[in-house]
Structure 1
């Protein structure tokens, strides 16, 4: 085996950035996050309402914060706690941010998911979060709903970095890239320095397989069952082909000449949902230059323990990926319907997690003030 195609566990050697899909006060207080930067090559962090709801409901790490916030409105308390965590994580990763010229070292914080269908409120909240956290290496997370698209453009135009979340379909992903390019064009026209404006497009993976596999099981034929576990990877590989196309365009080249960074594809939902699949499936099969893979702790540990890659597993696979999705459609499964449902479910799940976060925080505030 030659030096250029030797197996490795260093995704960075293949141009992939590892971000941790988790954050908690405990990780910050114990130095766990800082340790993962050294031990697991973590160079970024993503958060969402589900992550914060789990963090607040576990252990005692937030007791002192809740005591200090006793008597505060619950929504203001949630914002204070989550922005404090993101600010602290951004400080941990500031060295990475500086060393990579503002590419990595990023920490994402999500706009209240109840605003996913409200463009103006999303933009206003994005600005408030950016100014409250007050760190150059954060990203404001905005869902890729129809109403979210103009909010993405407007937030970027103001010079703020954006993580676009809940992308499931190639069509919507193309709309996201257009919103990004428009936002940077407006930022340039507004006089902003484009170099520090970062953006990733979070393309969800495992949820696609979970939904499509269930539909294939319902069909039940040998041909249908042979397609299990293939749709999500094919979908993501086609997304990467779209990314390569858009970021080879003259429109992008004009922005790059003005100092802009590309909006990198970020593979989200990379923990396998089916235990029959390899636990590093959505890592090893989605290796390509210039992407981010955000992993939950279990996937991060699994890859560090036994994950192995041999170069790029995405580039040049578009034709095979399209054939796979065509075969799925031939089983009577509409990918358009699947991805539309997953977007709606994604928004609903984050709304539910946000409600859980509010409830847990209120309980803690009440106890602290008793």
Structure 2
């Protein structure tokens, strides 16, 4: 049993945080699916790297009908996502819609535009035309409004850039409200799926930087991210075992699985699998970058860990507060930084496409 299958046996899906046409064409992505990968996530940064590093997009760029680079990216990304959805369709069918998803993100410029996000989410879902596509929406207040509307419309949503427990609770509530509205309208709730992408390693990077400036105790370093994530999982279990979800569950609704994002280790001093080992649990997803997937595959002795030591996690967050680190302030700043980074990545992606156009002419 490989590492992916070992984690699956414990109720956790492994998705691949990478999208590259070369991987699709060569069969490498199909091989990963055979090994047990059951989903793929993408974002502008991933597409930028793929376009810069591969000649697989040259013909598409040369022959595209697009008049702007934004339209060109739309054509290229939709084509890749459709192909990935076809690749994962057997997984989607075998798991009856519980798994087998490919995520594509709405343009970062819509992060604070609820109406625009809903319109773009609908457009992408219809244009891709595959039931196993997920529309990525940022966990901003406006994004959360869009989550409810898209869920009510029967569109699968991956809510991204979640760092805060407060915002995470609102994300789950928005998903549940959207399902209730569908059910009350006599619409099917079984075919709707969603994940909430809770970011991990960036929390440690931010908190550790503050601890270093304070010359704080070494015992506090590398504790914030996993503690924050374990408290999020406890909130997940509480929310989806509540009476508010029971009626939906009886109608066949899916829980909104928690997805661990940013799980590649950013500090070389830490175990490169620390954000895998400590966050194993049922009804969860871990979307991992290539290097982490390679390491993950070499082990098969995983065990459920995310439900353990939750009280210790609360104490660790309290210990950080006692030295002057407010975790809510940290995670709110990380959301702002994440949105800025996505906007910058999108701009860089468009620049890369312009360069590619010049190269292939």
Separation of aligned partners in 1, 2:18 and 2:166? 28
Partner of 1:37: 33
Q: Decide which of 287, 298, 301 is 1:294's aligned counterpart.
A: 287
Partner of 1:250: 243
Separation of aligned partners in 1, 2:94 and 2:213? 50
2:196 counterpart SS class:
strand
**1:54-91 Cα deviation digits (max 9, x unpaired):** 11111211001101116632111101111111110000
Q: Decide which of 122, 146, 157 is 1:127's aligned counterpart.
A: 122
2:192 counterpart SS class:
coil
- Asked if structure 2 preserves the Cα contact closer than 8 Å seen for 1:46 and 1:107, the reply is yes
Partner of 1:187: 182
- Asked if structure 2 preserves the Cα contact closer than 8 Å seen for 1:266 and 1:294, the reply is yes
Partner of 2:277: 284
- Asked if structure 1 preserves the Cα contact closer than 8 Å seen for 2:6 and 2:300, the reply is no
Deviates more, 1:50-59 or 1:126-135: 50-59
**1:279-301 Cα deviation digits (max 9, x unpaired):** 11100110111100000000000
Separation of aligned partners in 2, 1:261 and 1:319? 28
1:60 counterpart SS class:
coil
Partner of 2:346: 354
CA displacement at 1:363 relative to structure 2? 2.2
- Asked if structure 2 preserves the Cα contact closer than 8 Å seen for 1:127 and 1:155, the reply is yes
Separation of aligned partners in 2, 1:71 and 1:125? 18
**1:204-258 Cα deviation digits (max 9, x unpaired):** 000000000111111113x3x2111111000000000000100111110111111
RMSD: 1.4
CA displacement at 1:262 relative to structure 2? 0.3
Partner of 1:18: 14
Deviates more, 1:182-191 or 1:25-34: 182-191
Partner of 1:107: 102
TM-score, length basis structure 2: 0.97
1:81 counterpart SS class:
helix
**1:163-202 Cα deviation digits (max 9, x unpaired):** 0000001111001001110111122233331111110000
Unaligned runs of 5+ in 1: 1-6
- Asked if structure 2 preserves the Cα contact closer than 8 Å seen for 1:142 and 1:152, the reply is yes
Partner of 1:340: 332
Unaligned runs of 5+ in 2: none
2:83 counterpart SS class:
helix
Separation of aligned partners in 1, 2:310 and 2:6? 25
Mapping for residues 190-229 of structure 1, pairs under 5 Å:
190-221=185-216, 223=217, 225-229=218-222
- Asked if structure 2 preserves the Cα contact closer than 8 Å seen for 1:157 and 1:190, the reply is no
Q: Decide which of 245, 249, 257 is 1:264's aligned counterpart.
A: 257
CA displacement at 1:357 relative to structure 2? 1.0
2:259 counterpart SS class:
strand
TM-score, length basis structure 1: 0.94
CA displacement at 1:319 relative to structure 2? 1.0
**1:76-120 Cα deviation digits (max 9, x unpaired):** 110111111111000000000000010110000000011101111
Moved segments of 4+, more than 4 Å: none
Q: Decide which of 266, 272, 280 is 1:273's aligned counterpart.
A: 266
- Asked if structure 1 preserves the Cα contact closer than 8 Å seen for 2:66 and 2:72, the reply is no
Partner of 2:234: 241
Separation of aligned partners in 1, 2:5 and 2:41? 21
Mapping for residues 156-167 of structure 1, pairs under 5 Å:
156-167=151-162
1:277 counterpart SS class:
coil
Separation of aligned partners in 2, 1:60 and 1:242? 45
